[in-house]
Structure 1
Amino acid sequence: MNLVVVSNRVTRGKANEPMTGGLAAALLPVVEQSGAIWVGSSGRLRDGPQKERFAEVEALGAGAIAMLDLPAAHYGGFYEGFANSALWPALHSRSDLIRASHGDYLSYCEINAFMARALLRFRNRDTAFWVQDYHFLALGAELRKLGVTEPVGFFLHTPWPARNVMSGVPHHRELVEAMLAYDLIGFQTDEDCENFLAYVGQDLGLSVQDSRVTSRRGGIVGQTRCATFPIGIDAEKFAQAAMRAITHPQVSRLRRSLHGEKLAIGVDRLDYSKGLVNRINAFDLMWTREPALLRNVSLLQIATPSRGGIEAYCNLQNEVARLVSDVNGRHGEVDWTPIRYLNKGFGQAVLAGLYRCAQVGVVTPLHDGMNLVAKEYVAAQNPDDPGVLVLSKFAGAANELDAALVVNPNDVDGMARAIASALSMPLAERRLRYAAMMARLNSHTIHDWFNGFVGALRDARIEKETVEPALPAPAILPRRSAGPALRYY
């Protein structure tokens, strides 16, 4: 089976290319080893009428990457508009932040249709398409419109919210109906899968049996299988990278600058879903309540800016910067800064070394699909003297890494106590917790995730039968002229 993987952006995986976990870091190693073709945006935009031309196609290990210039006329409404001002806040249960115009929705549909046409270049009888994430909820339906009958699967890297939250998204019904064109839909957690099945069963009134949704598109009855595929990492490979990174110049400079003090680390995109404000408030409270920790532990917070054209992100950036300045002003000394706050990304080689330097990893999102930073932090630790992971109960990773100190990110007092506990945890307990988490990471790697989904997609086919008389197709997208979830470990 020739596999075509589709995402909004692709990465070449250079060692110094900034990365903070997430989709790109996950897909890179499996594309390199599997021979898949990874298709996505080049990051460049084109003006005026255009064909679906690929700007670049190049080898990536045993696979390849193909990059497409997207139409400038629709990209803003697609990306900063509907995808990240309507879908992203809803998927992270922030219905108060949903903002989108009808024009944004039309642009979202146009980009999905544009990508579908471009993918036909890679279609043959043995092709399967695997679509990644919320940018392309409608891509499967667009491929079906073009006559694609080969397997098409979809994996959602974010959470899927409760029914009442999803119903706050404009055109939510049309989008979910479009998703049912996929043969297989994968989620990070059982809760996400169950939320989706509850929506299609109750809001769309469709039949759901054994995690299969039966739906009708025109005169065709088809089934979509829904299942849980928690994403992993290559823990051993990341551990080796962390060992090598100890001698990296940036890592060496960090170690020398600590002068024996302990370090906590947070690595996130600058996003309201990551819980940065509550995290900083927790450190502030810890230093206020336990002044003995002043000058004995600092926080390295890497917060990579993103989506700067969206008001909610600009407001967050200003709020976090103000808060960091306030905490440093009250607790800092002329020769000591409590929070080292960096608004830039680092390559995986450097990040692995930074994780290994830190006695505490703080991963406290308010809501997250999985959060691979949590897994990378654990994998990077020195087995003889491991650090402690403080992990939000609302990250998908908490379902697997239950040997972490699991916290409620809305409970600032509880987080402050957990961080202090992590700093004073005895070596024997740290080793036990680390061993348990590493065993879990090694039992389900990124390659197991990839093979599990691809195997399920290979077996999944939409079971079709002609329905007479044919009923009108549901209005999935505008015309351009106008049960218990299965778990795969």
Structure 2
Amino acid sequence: MTDQGIDLLWGLLLVSLGLSALAVFFSISRHRRNSTPATVHVAGEDVASEAARKVLREFEKNGQSVDAALVTWSPETLRKILHEDLPEAQVIVVSNREPYIHNTKGDGVELVVPASGLVSAMEPITRACAGTWIAYGGGTADRQMVDGDDRVQVPPDNPSYTLRRVWLSEEEYQGYYLGFANEGLWPLCHIAFTRPIFRESDWDAYEAVNRKFADTVVAEARNERPIVLVQDYHFALLPRMIRERLPEAIVITFWHIPWPNSEVYSICPWRERILDGLLGSSIIGFHTQFHANNFTESVDRFLESRIERADAAISYGGQTTLVHAYPISIEWPLQLLAKLPDVAECRARVRDRFGLPADAKLCIGVERLDYTKGILDRFHALEELFTRHPELIGKVVFLQIAAPSRGTLPAYRQLHDECMRYADDLNLRYGADGYRPVVIVAEHHSQKAVYEIYRAADICMVTSLHDGMNLVAKEFVAARDDEQGVLLLSTFAGASRELLEALIVNPYDAAMMSGALSQALTMSAEEQRERMRRMREIVRDNNVYRWAGSMLLDAARLRKRGELDRVTANAERLATPDNVVPIFERKQVAGLR
């Protein structure tokens, strides 16, 4: 064979090797079951990534079993992934809500940590990654606490990452947040029978604010290849805006609320624009596979695209976006629990604080005052319980912690008034001296105070009419190191796919809910222990670091795939007949013959 023939074969071999490597990476990226994110497979199966293999080897070197590696997802695990598989990657988190708020109080400044599921999930991740968190600065003292570049180092007691605040005018906030995001997208995505309201002026504000956050992301990026974690429905347009200016960035968008079916989604006047914006992402994540499927069906219906269902990917506009389910979770609260009193003292404190009878069973609800949470439906269930079991009147108290939320919007003001009227009515009909069956506390509570309430409760009701995941359910389980307490959990919350030992209820069925309440009130301590023990194992093992690690491992695969694409493209170019002689000449110069 001639030298030219040999060189041509050599070039074709390069192409073949590159394509084979790509096939391996596409195979690895096939969609995993949403109940086992970032699981490391052993005994001859493929390991999720090189980073996971290195984590495994580290555990084995230290004498720990493979099983330990599967359950001990921690900040150190994330740091290993970043160091080994995403070296020098800058992590940027973008959300509407900031993790620390500074408010004026008297002559000083008060630091507020918002009680938010998103903050609870993302704050430990950002700490572990030493990243930058970009958020709206809405605190009354936020401006005076930042430096000249609108940055502040947080947490205050042990600074480990940067909070970059973005300032919005009152008009921008009203249109983007209260208007389009929460009067439009929020009811659109939640099946709670509240009609979405769409105004063109709100859309204009939404688009402008997304553009402002894109400018901030670009300004904060230290190079052209950051990893940007875009959070939630406030920023549907942001991924495309980032992609236009940072084409080599890995953009991971996580949608924290449900995604409706395509028929419901079609209501939105800007449906194609929103889908186009989100498909600027490298990865789009949802809590459940059901919501991921709804998103894919919406894209299939409204955009010219190619759906790769086997790979859980969408090809659109020359780019491929992975669409996966990543069930979110919480940080296992070892340090927080160590600071709290034992369960008996928590019970005494909570009952004293809210004036609750010492001998009554305590049922709790903890969330923002929102029409998607099913608060009124709990009151219906309690009324049904008293009708069916009048002997329980005086023996059950329902404590509803309802943090004020979006109180300027009509739907929220109406809900507040309805809750107060219903509670007053139940207290009038079933109450007595020293006993109120319903206690509503419409104020914000610190994380420590909330966990104290969890530990004091006999029953926790999570009765969402429609929800993404709902971390209250997981927090209640994590708080119960005494392995007691009963969780009533809506079938319409994503957590019901994982916490199967909870009493799963339909919040629209008052009779069913009252029956579950009766079952919870009479459940033996042993059955409570068996159920709680299994749920605690699930929440501890599938913690927030595993959730984040799943997405970072997928990001690492995408980055490596991009590098292989470039290698393969170069090999194909060099293997063309016009390049055979140049290849031959380069090999001679390099001494390869």
Q: Same fold (TM over 0.5)?
A: yes
- Give the residue type in structure 1 aligned to 2:165: M
- Give the residue type in structure 1 aligned to 2:428: G
Q: Deviations over 1:191-233 (max 9, x none)?
A: 01011111112332421112110111xxxx1111110110111
Structure 2 counterpart SS, 1:8 = coil
Distance of 1:408 and 1:415 partners within structure 2:
7
Do the aligned partners of 1:236 and 1:442 also contact (CA within 8 Å) in 2? Answer: no
Which entry has the higher C-alpha Rg, 1 or 2? 2
Distance of 1:18 and 1:290 partners within structure 2:
41
Matched, 1:393 2:529: no
Do the aligned partners of 2:307 and 2:314 also contact (CA within 8 Å) in 1? Answer: yes
In structure 1, the residue matched to 2:315 is: 214
- Give the residue type in structure 1 aligned to 2:514: A
**Which has the higher mean CA deviation after the structures are superposed, 179-188 or 451-460?**
451-460
**Which has the higher mean CA deviation after the structures are superposed, 426-435 or 21-30?**
21-30
Distance of 2:395 and 2:101 partners within structure 1:
36
In structure 2, the residue matched to 1:359 is: 458
Q: 1:5 aligns with which of 83, 93, 99?
A: 93
Q: Alignment RMSD, CA only?
A: 2.5
**Which has the higher mean CA deviation after the structures are superposed, 331-340 or 144-153?**
144-153
**Matches of residues 240-279 of structure 1 in structure 2 within 5 Å?**
240=337, 243-244=340-341, 251=350, 253-254=352-353, 257-279=356-378
- Give the residue type in structure 2 aligned to 1:174: R
Distance of 2:328 and 2:408 partners within structure 1:
30
What is the TM-score of this pair, normalised by structure 2?
A: 0.73
Alignment CA distance shift 1:302-1:312 (3 Å):
same
- Give the residue type in structure 1 aligned to 2:375: L
**Which segments of structure 1 move beyond 6 Å, counting only runs of 4 or more?**
13-16, 462-466
In structure 1, the residue matched to 2:520 is: 422
Structure 1 counterpart SS, 2:322 = strand
Q: 1:368 aligns with which of 448, 462, 467?
A: 467
Q: CA deviation at 1:94?
A: 4.3
Q: Deviations over 1:400-423 (max 9, x none)?
A: 001000000111110011011101
Q: Deviations over 1:370-422 (max 9, x none)?
A: 000000111111435x0000000000000000100000011111001101110
Q: Percent identity?
A: 32
In structure 1, the residue matched to 2:126 is: 31
Q: CA deviation at 1:97?
A: 1.6
Matched, 1:325 2:424: yes
In structure 1, the residue matched to 2:323 is: 226
Distance of 1:190 and 1:85 partners within structure 2:
26
Unaligned stretches of 5+ in structure 2?
A: 1-88, 103-109, 141-147, 570-593
Q: 2:554 aligns with which of 452, 456, 459?
A: 456
Distance of 2:520 and 2:443 partners within structure 1:
27
Alignment CA distance shift 1:228-1:281 (3 Å):
same
Do the aligned partners of 2:101 and 2:137 also contact (CA within 8 Å) in 1? Answer: no
Q: 1:347 aligns with which of 446, 449, 455?
A: 446
More helix by share: 2
- Give the residue type in structure 2 aligned to 1:227: H
Do the aligned partners of 1:225 and 1:460 also contact (CA within 8 Å) in 2? Answer: no
Structure 2 counterpart SS, 1:272 = coil
Q: 2:434 aligns with which of 335, 345, 350?
A: 335
Q: CA deviation at 1:254?
A: 4.0
Unaligned stretches of 5+ in structure 1?
A: 46-52, 467-489
Q: Deviations over 1:106-151 (max 9, x none)?
A: 1100000011001112211442111000000110111123344311
Alignment CA distance shift 1:436-1:44 (3 Å):
closer
Distance of 1:118 and 1:259 partners within structure 2:
53
Structure 1 counterpart SS, 2:95 = strand
Structure 1 counterpart SS, 2:501 = coil
Do the aligned partners of 1:16 and 1:348 also contact (CA within 8 Å) in 2? Answer: no
Q: CA deviation at 1:181?
A: 0.6
